[in-house]
Structure 1
Amino acid sequence: MSWADIYPWSPPEPGEPVVRRLYDQVRGAILSGALKPGGRLPSSRDFSTRLGVARASVVAAYDLLLAEGYAEGRAGSGTYVSADLSGMLDVKPQTPAPSARPPRIPARARVMDELTFPTPQAEPRLFTTGRTLLDARALDAWSASTRRALRTLGPVHFGYSDAAGEAPLRAAIADYLRAARGVICTPDQVIVTSGAQHAVDIAVRLLLHRGDSVWMEDPGYPATLHALTVAGVAIHHVPVDRSGLVVARGVAVAPEARVAFVTPSHQYPLGVTLSMARRLELLAWAREAGAWIVEDDYASEFRYAGPPLASLQGLDGGERVIYVGTLNKALFPGLRMGYAVVPKALATAFANARQVIDRQPPTLTQAIVLDFMREGQFAAHIRRRRLTDKGQRDALASALTDQLSHLLEVDVPDQGMHLIAYLKDGRSDLEVEAAAAEAGLYVRAISRLYRQVAPRQGLMLGFSGFPARLMAGGVARLAKVLG
């Protein structure tokens, strides 16, 4: 008889995972020394009978112990405690010596720890920004593309693929951008990313060293600011007026900046468009300074008055502008797909950086998007979305004007997915934001997005993710908040 035969084994409690309970008991007895090396364990049949559990559960627990080296099997004899437990029995929490030093937390980790992000909402509140809607036709078409992609799973899905994205999808994106935005590119310049922010982050990693000078719009997009802050670069906050980035101010404060980060088509958050004169001025500075421009065209699809302005990348010819876009706003944020169009001199480095960070974009998602585009559904969806979003924008603007013109100055944008309503009475937009949250509304205070420019008090209200019929009622609730 072995010690294991008289050990006080206890059956699992009701609802307790049986295999884990058996494994933990045997392992604990071994580590405590109650079961000695080389000792025989009960047979799976006897053990299961004794504890009133299925024999398969005992076999599974023994398999775990065998795999981890706590037990060993002997042909025709049974299962035994491993004869060699060196390195296992002495595993105990170590008390640090008085002279021991804790690992140093790097400065970059401390910066990361200090960043703040909006809390994801299980149920979206009215006026939340960045949301999208798919109508019934788009949903049906997306479902059909998904079914086709699943029916035709090819070898590419069962191994690793091109980190820059699948060639057919990159070609489709290049065709779309040439037609829709005047981007000058070939498919090998297109890098598929998880979204615009992913592309911006790669650009920061590749183009900048700690201490380098950059231009950043003021106010500007917080996610870009986060990426630059973590990189440890010298950020020069360049003001924005009704014509967009004040290029002359950037030249005055940091003429030798390495990169300018801009949102020229729909400035975030103010919604203004960079004028043609300023676009040419910005490109002239970049040529003179030997600098790069990162053009974040995050809302390029949604222009409601006239044709889209030419992309900076197209004006430049593709030599010094990294053009960044996203399908997450054109389709839906859960898609997690965007792209960067990079100068040919950077294409290999950009693709390699993307591989180092995340290996490759998901091939199945790429196949679905490609089918959706090839079937003409993407272009049709964008046309319908423009009309829908314009109706939502107009409904929101009309309700704000009708109900709150005495308190708010509404800036109706020609493009994008949100509008800005400036407070007239001098109250704090942060206080309004908090009060609106209590009323179940999401209005974002823009004052926190300013850095060196004197902040204006205003509210950012998203209209793209909610039906037009909800706008008047939502504004009525906001009117109660504003009193």
Structure 2
Amino acid sequence: PAAASASSASALASLNRPFQMGLPALDAFPRKVWARLAARAIRATQPDDMVCPPYRGQAALRAAIATYLNLSRGIVCSPSQVFITSGYRNTLELVTRALLQPGDGVWVEDPGFPPTSELLKHAGMKLAPVAVDAEGLVVSHGVATAPRARAAVVTPAHQCPLCVSLSLPRRLALLDWAAQADAWIVEDDYDGEYRYASRPLPALQSLDRDGRVLYAGTFSKVLFPAVRLAYLVVPPAQVPRFEQVSQTFGSGGPILTQTIVSDFMNEGHFARHIQRMRRLYAERRQIAAQGLDAVLGKHLRIDPQPGGMHLILRMKGRHTDRALAERMRQDGMAALALSERTVLPHAASALLLGFTNIDTPQRARELGKRILKLL
């Protein structure tokens, strides 16, 4: 038992290291409000709440999500188009089962999010890496290399991991390709709320006039990863198909958790929390960038970014990102190498470092000095 406990503690520590990617500012989450809502939901539990949850998700949560997306992301949808899942991977699995067949080609961004490619490979899809530049996905590259692909998985708000936004001409070109090729677009909007240079951009789905875009959102980045809830908005014509597939493979998550999240949204806590986090992350990004630059400026250049939850540190000279990232991991920090997230030639060398839990200049400089020693 002692060994098992130590192993569990070690696993937890590995998920909460300095610079951990995708981890919200856990110290700023309103735990007292969450605890109050949870206690109320538990007290109100009735026998009907203890049976199997609806395969599409709780009605109140689906309605709350539809309302939120209309106000914040420009997405006009009904609750019937919203399907609750147990996370992004479950969302993507639902899409592949409902709309794709083994052997279908799928555009994936390069560099991109490795779990997307891994899941698509396991589902039997043929991956088509598409280059990304300062305007986001290079649609012309995808059309030239895989014009008959059946789908594209994209991150238009903040491209993962380069954080660039998909330009309007590229958005329109992508939608045109999908309409002409009878293909689907999965819009992974994992952290679109966190934009610091301007208001959050409208979702790609808000421009869709042909019913080709499926919008994938998650609560992992705006609440906390352990909540294990995400959602998918499908075009109206595809609702019956997704209802059929969800009845067999859906996993909307525990009804108690869905009740807490729906109350959190309906009572205004969700919107206020996002507003606070947007301000906090803008401050923490500046703190982290200035502190690291003061120590590492001769060796690494920090990219300017319009939003997101991580920094991109470009390597100067002969330093390589993979070697440094591995040394950082061995030293107890989290680090990802940009070159490990691409398969196309001429991969850039850079570190990807989460900044959301760096709260003081002293902490940023201290971590910078640890990286300097490893260099």
Please classify the TM superposition score into its range, dividing by the shorter chain length.
Answer: over 0.9
Q: Distance in 2 between matches of 1:238 and 1:459?
A: 21
Q: CA deviation at 1:120?
A: 4.5
Spell out, residue by residue over 1:287-336, the C-alpha distance to the aligned partner (whole angstroms, 9 max, x if none). 11111100000001211111111211111147110000101110000000
Q: How does 1:345-356 map to 2 (within 5 A)?
A: 345-356=237-248
Q: Distance in 2 between matches of 1:318 and 1:362?
A: 34
Q: 1:406 aligns with which of 287, 298, 313?
A: 298
Q: CA deviation at 1:408?
A: 0.8
Q: How does 1:466-481 map to 2 (within 5 A)?
A: 466-469=358-361, 470-481=363-374
The 8 Å contact of residues 204 and 227 in structure 1, kept in 2 or not, is answered as no
Q: Distance in 2 between matches of 1:379 and 1:285?
A: 35
SS in 2 for 1:441: coil
Q: CA deviation at 1:428?
A: 2.0
Aligned residue number for residue 450 of structure 1: 342
Q: Distance in 2 between matches of 1:207 and 1:453?
A: 31
Identity within the alignment, %? 43
Q: How does 1:157-306 map to 2 (within 5 A)?
A: 157-306=49-198
- Structure 1 stretch displaced more, 364-373 or 348-357: 348-357
SS in 2 for 1:425: coil
TM-score, normalization by structure 1 = 0.73
> Structure 1's 120 and 200: CA in aligned 2 closer, same or farther, altered over 3 A?
farther
Aligned residue number for residue 325 of structure 1: 217
Structure 1 unaligned regions, length at least 5: 1-118
Aligned residue number for residue 439 of structure 1: 331
Spell out, residue by residue over 1:315-360, the C-alpha distance to the aligned partner (whole angstroms, 9 max, x if none). 1147110000101110000000010000122223223323323554
Spell out, residue by residue over 1:84-141, the C-alpha distance to the aligned partner (whole angstroms, 9 max, x if none). xxxxxxxxxxxxxxxxxxxxxxxxxxxxxxxxxxx95435221011111245671111
The 8 Å contact of residues 391 and 468 in structure 1, kept in 2 or not, is answered as no
Which amino acid is 1:234 matched to? Answer: K
The 8 Å contact of residues 228 and 235 in structure 1, kept in 2 or not, is answered as yes
Aligned residue number for residue 122 of structure 1: 13
SS in 2 for 1:302: coil
The 8 Å contact of residues 174 and 187 in structure 1, kept in 2 or not, is answered as yes
Q: 1:374 aligns with which of 245, 266, 270?
A: 266
> Structure 1's 186 and 358: CA in aligned 2 closer, same or farther, altered over 3 A?
closer
SS in 2 for 1:122: helix
Aligned residue number for residue 464 of structure 1: 356
Aligned residue number for residue 391 of structure 1: 283
Structure 2 unaligned regions, length at least 5: 1-9
Q: Distance in 2 between matches of 1:300 and 1:384?
A: 15
Aligned residue number for residue 6 of structure 2: none
SS in 1 for 2:13: coil
Q: Distance in 1 between matches of 2:207 and 2:340?
A: 33
Aligned residue number for residue 337 of structure 1: 229
- Structure 1 stretch displaced more, 312-321 or 224-233: 312-321
> Structure 1's 463 and 156: CA in aligned 2 closer, same or farther, altered over 3 A?
farther
The 8 Å contact of residues 18 and 333 in structure 2, kept in 1 or not, is answered as yes
Q: Report the number of matched residues.
A: 364
Aligned residue number for residue 365 of structure 1: 257
- Structure 1 stretch displaced more, 254-263 or 194-203: 194-203
Spell out, residue by residue over 1:398-436, the C-alpha distance to the aligned partner (whole angstroms, 9 max, x if none). 122222121112113211111111101132211101111
> Structure 1's 285 and 420: CA in aligned 2 closer, same or farther, altered over 3 A?
same
Spell out, residue by residue over 1:69-97, the C-alpha distance to the aligned partner (whole angstroms, 9 max, x if none). xxxxxxxxxxxxxxxxxxxxxxxxxxxxx
Q: CA deviation at 1:202?
A: 1.2
**Structure of higher CA gyration radius:** 1
SS in 1 for 2:305: coil
Q: CA deviation at 1:198?
A: 1.6
SS in 2 for 1:131: coil
Name the structure, 1 or 2, with higher relative contact order (CA <8 Å, separation 6+). 2
The 8 Å contact of residues 184 and 318 in structure 1, kept in 2 or not, is answered as no
Spell out, residue by residue over 1:30-53, the C-alpha distance to the aligned partner (whole angstroms, 9 max, x if none). xxxxxxxxxxxxxxxxxxxxxxxx
Q: Distance in 2 between matches of 1:205 and 1:472?
A: 47
- Structure 1 stretch displaced more, 347-356 or 170-179: 347-356
Which amino acid is 1:252 matched to? Answer: A
Spell out, residue by residue over 1:426-462, the C-alpha distance to the aligned partner (whole angstroms, 9 max, x if none). 3221110111123221111111110123211110000
SS in 2 for 1:388: helix
Q: CA RMSD in A?
A: 1.7
SS in 1 for 2:108: strand
> Structure 1's 424 and 308: CA in aligned 2 closer, same or farther, altered over 3 A?
same
